[in-house]
Amino acid sequence: MSYKSEHERSIQDPDSFWGEQARLIHWEKPFNEVLNYSNPPFAKWFEGGLTNLCYNAVDRHLKDRADQAALIAVSTETNQEKAYTFKELYEEVNRMAAIYQANGVKKGDRVLIYMPMIAEASFAMLACARIGAIHSVVFGGFASHSLASRIDDAKPKMIVTAEAGSRAGKPVPYKPLLDEGIALASFKPEKVLIVNRGLTEFTMVAGRDVDYATERQKHLNDIVPVEWVDATHISYILYTSGTTGKPKGVQRDTGGYAVALAASMKHIFCGNPGETMFCTSDIGWVVGHSYIIYAPLINGMATILYEGTPLRPDAGIWWELVEKYKVSVMFSAPTAVRVLKKQDPAFLTKYDLSSLRALFLAGEPLDEPTATWIHDAIKKPIVDNYWQTETGWPMLAIQRGVEVMPHKFGSPGVPSFGYNMKLLDDATSEELGPDKKGVIAIEGPLPPGCMQTVWGDDKRFVSTYWETIPGKTIYSTFDWGIKDKDGYFFILGRTDDVINVAGHRLGTREIEESISSHPNVSEVAVVGIEDKLKGQAAIAFVIPRNSDSIANLEAECMKTVDSQLGPIARPGRVYVVNALPKTRSGKIVRRALQAVAEGRDPGDISTMEDQTVLAQIKDIIDSTAKA
């Protein structure tokens, strides 16, 4: 059996391939057919089968591993740490489900979860799945108007929150943001369930707000029966960025998602029941949904839920957790690795990492210098992978389960099972051969686990994703890429990150890769700005590794690009900065950088971690212009 033959089978005979993968989860009632694709591009997987995400993640493990650790909640913000066994997790989820039911939440109702990375957040998600309610997790600390738009779109019966999160040891009040968000929203939720962490003072709204600790006490011994739902039942809505102001809710099913996650643990992540997985993401993002909450638990593994930064109390904290909990599978982001790259390297060798089999990185393109550095530092395989909120699990990765495939630094790998990936010319839509630049697209049907549609808007689902490539009904990832002769894909950046310099199309990602190879560059972002002569020009923003030797850094970066990509790709300017504007999940907000570079209003920056960074960059641009 080889990757190639199995991937081909997953495309040519999805009924056979996915029918086999479906055995990895529990079905209360068998499905009628594996795939119903009678109404493209809407795929229905395992229709007629009854199952439940919570049962697969928790209940089914009680027989063999009730006393095994299931959820390990660690907060370096509040210095608290607690491990819950599968039995204890089962009890807490039942209590939360009982609270939901006592407050009128039933199958199909939406519950908006606006929480920090605490154990109760996972109870809240799993309890929704248990009773067939639909959760919509909004990243903790999101601005009020962002919350309001999501409340109006999802129309939740209940909101679950905490009075505060914590960042770098300082409380981040959630309750005032939530109160304002509800005030701004046209739709008003009936109840708000509040976990009081004792971090900040807050005011309860009479008749609406409910205290979690009080409610939990009422339901300590309650057992809530599992609601068996059809495989196509909506499990959750997760909002992702769109080109319009209206939120775009990615809608996910139940059975297909459970099967896809179980299959990914077998074929990509290769975790085993009884082991521990540590994903450093946040439940507000799809990585947190899939690989903090659902996939590890479905696979019978313990999962670490981490509240904190990679530097608190010091840069060794993640590796300390790897040693303490014998983590075998770790999942993080290239941004986090670049943060660690600036710290004392001694932290990387201080702890016993013998349990760790691989470090997976995703969320943004992984540049070769970063991948090489972390590989050399921890002496473990570094597995890049590529996916989106819309797909729910990796589209591209090194498939490690069937055969151990060779890594190619700079590439997230080959298509995962079920993904019929194409590289298309964006103008003619013809399929391209090796080493040609094109748009990465997926031939329908999308495999199990991918989005069903946009919540409440089937037309938007079709027009946004399936009608952008001329003459074809095909899913566009909106990413440029190339594919080599071995079938490995290389990501060159978003299609809207491609700039046209004097008639030459350049991917900003390619220029970033080149600049990042400079030994004194810690991090870089490249954007295209308007240029009266050339149409567009590339502008680079660079964070130096050593701020004491930056005298010639701009010239050296330009020379590096010249030598690697040619003079046409040389940036118009290279600005040396102290920080880049990022979201709380660590993604660089390039549109804001572009706006500041062009002297425009950056617009909504509420999702940014540090909103002062843009002002600092503007000062640097202004002072450079005057010099």
Report the CATH number that the domain containing residue 619 is assigned in CATH. Answer: 3.30.300.30
Distance (Å, whole) CA 499 – CA 527: 8
The candidate with the shortest Cα–Cα distance to 115, out of 125, 130, 105, 103, is 125
Flag whether pLDDT at 244 surpasses 60.
Answer: no
Q: Are 211 and 204 in contact (CB under 8 A)?
A: yes
Are residue 69 and residue 147 in the same domain, yes or no? yes
Residues 89 and 232 both lie in one domain: yes
Residue 225 counted as domain residue: yes
- Which helix (H) or strand (E) element contains residue 230? strand 229-230
Q: Is the pLDDT of residue 374 over 50?
A: yes
User: What mean pLDDT value characterizes the chain?
Assistant: 93
| Helix residue ranges, H only, 249-327 | 255-264, 286-288, 295-298, 317-324
Structure tokens at 383: 């597995």
| Judgement on whether residues 457 and 586 belong to the same structural domain of the protein | no
Of 79-83, 302-306, 398-402, 512-516, the range with the lowest mean pLDDT is 398-402
**Stretch 142-149: mean pLDDT:** 83
Question: Hey, which of 257-271, 332-346, 525-539, 602-616 has the most confident mean pLDDT?
Answer: 257-271
Q: What's the pLDDT score for residue 243?
A: 47
CA–CA dist 357, 270 (Å, integer) = 9
Domains identified in the chain, total number: 2
Q: pLDDT tier at 496 (50, 70, 90 boundaries)?
A: low
3-state SS of the chain: helix, strand, coil percent to 5?
Answer: 35, 25, 40
Q: What tokens appear for 97 in the block?
A: 């489900």
184 and 61 share a domain? Answer: yes
Say if residue 550's pLDDT is above 70.
yes
Looking at per-residue confidence, does 416 or 370 come out higher?
Answer: 416
Structural domain including 208 reads 3-477
Assess if residue 492 is contained within a domain: no
Q: Are 141 and 166 in contact (CB under 8 A)?
A: no
Domain identity same for 473 and 523: no
Whether the CB-CB separation of 395 and 388 falls below 8 Å is answered with: yes
Kindly tell me if the per-residue pLDDT of 245 is higher than 70.
Answer: no
Whether residue 587 lies inside any domain: the answer is: yes
Q: Is residue 491 part of a domain?
A: no
Look at residue 454 and tell me if it is in a domain. yes
Most confident of 415-419, 491-495, 565-569: 415-419
pLDDT value of residue 294: 98
Distance set, CA 94 to CA 120, 176, 295, 412 (Å): 12, 29, 20, 39
Q: Do residues 146 and 10 both lie within one domain?
A: yes
Kindly give the pairing relationship between strand 229-230 and strand 110-114: unpaired
Residue 449: the pLDDT is 98
Q: What is the pTM of this model?
A: 0.86
Domain of residue 232, CATH code? 3.40.50.12780
Q: What are phi and psi of 405, to 5 degrees?
A: -90, 150
Residues 205 and 337 grouped into a single domain: yes
Whether residue 496 lies inside any domain: the answer is no
Mean pLDDT, to the nearest integer, of 580-590? 83
Query: 300 in a domain, yes or no?
Result: yes
Is the domain of 449 the same as that of 310?
yes
Least trusted range by pLDDT, from 40-44, 108-112, 515-519: 515-519
CB 334 within 8 A of CB 366: yes
Q: Is residue 497 part of a domain?
A: no
Residues 310 and 449 in one domain: yes
Token reading at 165? 């999160």
- Give CA angle at 384 (507, 559), nearest 5°: 40
